[in-house]
Amino acid sequence: MNMKEYIDEAESALLHTYNRYQIVWDKGDGMYLYDIEGKKYLDFVAGIAVFALGYNNKAYNDALKAQIDKVIHTSNYYYNIPAIEAAKKLKKISGMDRVFFTNSGAEAVEGALKAARKYAFLQDGHTDHEIIAMNHSFHGRTFGALSVTGNPHYREAFEPMIGNVKFADFNDFESVRAQVTDKTCAVIFETVQGEGGIYPTEEAFMRQVRALCDERDILLILDEIQCGMGRTGTMYAWQRYGVKPDIMTSAKAVGCGVPVGAFMMTERVAQHSLTSGDHGTTYGGNPLACAAVSKVIDLFEELDILKNVNETGAYLYEKLDALAAKYDFIRAHRGVGLMQGLECEGAVGDVINRAVEKGLLLINAGTNIIRFIPPLIVSKADVDDMIGIVDACFAEMEGSCIGTRKMDET
């Protein structure tokens, strides 16, 4: 079948919950994806910050093939070696004490919220505890995760959500403190807001919230699903500040394509929250998923991924800064490591579509922000290629609704 026939088949069979680009993928290699017609695309999306190691990494592929030949699934009634090894390695890179494997980031958030509620229940026997989340946040599409997602548009058709959730303003400590009551059991936020516009946590905010949580015996939950696993230049973004959470969520790049996530916690929380029978999952922590996690962590070290993120991330920042200086419709450039964004005056959908036509994959964060989240193996040459295409797209759109080039550049 050709591209159109595959797409027509998909539209007749799949539930239409995604507005997909008119592309059917065939294969990937390194920084590139190839469609079924052989067209090559430079990828600055990485499956939404998932494929950190790039495509077709032989060592990663071989590890999964070897595990498939052994056993894929056994259930959590039994132990399995990949899960034990993966948990040990996750503890080492995260600094946390206990690991629960899930199938996705949203499930990791669900488990984190349950752990926080159970922790509070064991303190006073009450079931009316409150959680403080952030406006403009995104934590997932399941009911619990959606309940702490600070965008009413995502929630309104599915109300009522889980109860006792309040929203404060990200990076505004007084806003958080104003929401705290004797019923508050947890504060949750992304260490770097992703879908909400690429906003890193300010260090002062992080430290103030941590101190408040310590003072009131409130649990700090950090969502590191998108910004974790090396994307900001440390294994987890909170490590840049040295402010450790009580509970942390991880997914996306932790499996580099295999559906797997985890929530982790300190020993103190583990000893006073979830216990046998409180939480479970059929597929979570199965040998195949955990073999992926274990190999990903090994390859991060072998390939010195953090060094590349810091060096190429700084280069990307420099190049995006120059682009922002060139066009007056670019309102802001922000981000850290290989998680950056350009905020524009108008919608960026046309820019992204033009880039796709030129063989570059980009993604938005909201309607007016272009998000740059490439595989963590990206090189400076790849950044140059990307900048050249984006610059050409912007130049083609001079005088359109998105804006014009700065006068001193014309």
Q: Which residue has the tokens 């990791």?
A: 108
Angle at 190 between CA 161 and CA 137, to 5 degrees: 45
Rounded Cα–Cα distance for residues 335 and 342 (Å): 9
Q: Do 152 and 317 touch, CB atoms closer than 8 A?
A: no
Q: Contact 264/247 with Cβ under 8 angstroms?
A: yes
Mean pLDDT across the stretch 111-115? 98
Relative orientation angle of helices 287-302 and 305-326, to the nearest 10 degrees: 80
C-beta atoms surrounding 183 within 10 Å: 14
Does residue 402 surpass a pLDDT of 90?
no
Residue at a domain's end among 302, 332, 363: 302
Residue 204 and residue 319 share a domain: no
Q: Which residues, listed in sequence order, are joined to residue 167 by a DSSP beta bridge?
A: 133
> 7 with 24: CB under 8 angstroms?
yes
Residue 192 · residue 166 · CB < 8 Å: no
Name the pairing type of β-strands 219-223 and 184-190: parallel
Same domain, 210 and 189: yes
| 62 belongs to a structural domain | no
Q: CATH code at 281?
A: 3.40.640.10
Does 380 lie in the same domain as 365? yes
DSSP 172-231: -HHHHHHH--TTEEEEEEESEETTTT-EEPPHHHHHHHHHHHHHHT-EEEEE-TTTTTTT
CA distance 1 to 252: 31
DSSP state of 202: P
User: Would residue 29 count as lying in a domain?
Assistant: yes
Residues 16 and 77 in one domain: no
Q: Please report the pLDDT score of residue 119 as a whole number.
A: 98
Q: Does 278 fall in a domain?
A: yes
CATH number where 330 lies: 3.90.1150.10
* Whether residue 398 has pLDDT greater than 80: no
Instruction: Write out pLDDT tens, residues 4-34.
Output: 999 999 999 999 999 999 999 999 999 999 9
Q: Are 370 and 19 in contact (CB under 8 A)?
A: no
* Domain membership flag for residue 66: no
Q: Are residue 296 and residue 317 in the same domain, yes or no?
A: no
Do 160 and 292 lie in one domain? The reply is yes
Do 245 and 284 share a domain, yes or no?
A: yes
What tens digit of pLDDT does each residue of 317-366 get? 999 999 999 999 999 999 999 999 999 999 999 999 999 999 999 999 99
- Cβ atoms of 111 and 265 within 8 Å: the answer is no
- Which residues, in sequence order, are bridge partners of residue 330? 344
- Binned at pLDDT 50, 70 and 90, residue 408 comes out as very low
**Is the same domain home to 326 and 275?**
no
Over residues 49-60, the mean pLDDT reads: 98
The domain boundary residue, chosen from 280, 302, 324: 302
pLDDT beyond 90 at 399: no
- 264 with 313, same domain: the answer is no
Rounded to an integer, the average pLDDT of 245-260 is 98
**Helix (H, G, I), strand (E, B), or coil: what is residue 116?**
helix
281 and 369 part of one domain: no
127-158 tens-digit pLDDT:
999 999 999 999 999 999 999 999 999 999 99
Phi, then psi, of 8 in degrees rounded to 5: -60, -40
Predicted local confidence at residue 240, as pLDDT? 96
Task: Report the pLDDT averaged over residues 212-218.
Answer: 98
Supply the mean pLDDT for the chain: 96
Query: Can you give the residue range of the structural domain that contains 113?
Result: 71-302
The pLDDT score that the predictor gives to residue 397 is: 84
One domain, residues 382 and 402: yes
How far CA 132 is from CA of 135, 186, 251, 285, in Å, comes to: 10, 6, 22, 29
Two structure tokens written together for 201: 């946590």
- Give the containing element (helix H, strand E) for 34: strand 32-35
Q: Where are the alpha helices (DSSP H) in 96-142?
A: 105-124
Q: Are residues 45 and 99 in the same domain?
A: no
pLDDT at position 405, please?
43
Angle between helices 380-396 and 305-326 (to 10 degrees): 20
pLDDT grade for 400, boundaries at 50, 70 and 90? low
CA pair distance 390, 376, nearest whole angstrom: 20
What's the pTM? 0.95
Of 259, 276, 302, the one marking the end of a domain is: 302
Q: Can you tell me the mean pLDDT for 164-175?
A: 98
> Phi, psi (5° rounding) for residue 221?
-110, 120
The total number of residues written for the chain in this structure:
410
pLDDT in tens, 272-318: 999 999 999 999 999 999 999 999 999 999 999 999 999 999 999 99
Domain total for the chain?
A: 2
